[in-house]
Chain A
Amino acid sequence: KAGVTQTPRYLIKTRGQQVTLSCSPISGHRSVSWYQQTPGQGLQFLFEYFSETQRNKGNFPGRFSGRQFSNSRSEMNVSTLELGDSALYLCASSWDPGGTEAFFGQGTRLTVV
């Protein structure tokens, strides 16, 4: 069974630009969550989608948004990039987010210059 796939793996963007990251969950998993990891703040929850609905959102500005498609694939978008958005963005998929394991992808390393 294929794992969680995130694309692209690396990305360099300029301040003010926008970026879209993609996540394909494990087959059969309908829950996808996104996390930001930085050296200063650690791993922080961005949002969670289940059956195309956002059910939970972390404390991030509105520049961070996401969506989920009918095949459970998810995208997150960051608009008007700031230097502080440089981070490793991780996606996790789960069959039952309330009680089963969450499996992570390899992440997308975003660098904003």
Chain B
Amino acid sequence: SQQGEEDPQALSIQEGENATMNCSYKTSINNLQWYRQNSGRGLVHLILIRSNEREKHSGRLRVTLDTSKKSSSLLITASRAADTASYFCATGSGGSYGKLTFGQGTILTVHP
């Protein structure tokens, strides 16, 4: 079963615009990770945020985590055509021994 729900399911923007994707989850977590996937290939790790953190930055990526609302958001600033991909959030919980629970993903299309 999927723990996370991602919103929107699809997002289409122009190069240079910002893209925001949201993820909600149901149970308490230890951490939340965001991944990118291009055309059915492997998952590329973007960023991990721990349950005691509220915000993290990595390059053009900004991730926030609100444990009271059980939600996270991924912001990609100044999007490029190369950012076109599917984006997934994945949660890890205490005692889950490496099990990540994924959302259904957001398909991002960045038009040149």
Contacts and interface: CB of A to CB of B under 8 A. Distances in A.
Interface string B7-26: 00000000000000000000
Interface residues of A, number: 31
A101 B48 contact: yes
B87 interface: no
A72 interface: no
Interface residues of B, number: 27
Interface in A48-105: 48, 50, 55-56, 58, 88, 90, 92, 94, 97-105
A106 interface: yes
A102 B33 contact: yes
A102 B98 contact: yes
Contact of A43 (B33, B48, B88): B88
Interface string A21-55: 00000000001010101000011110010100001
In the complex, which of the residues B45, B94, B99, B104 has the most CB atoms of chain A within 10 Å of its own CB atom?
A: B99
A37 to B, nearest CB: 8
Contacts of A92: 43, 98, 100
Contacts of A107: 40-42
Given A43-B88, A99-B31, A99-B50, A104 B42 contact: yes
A76 B56 CA distance: 35
A33 B100 contact: yes
B43 A90 contact: yes
A45 B99 contact: yes
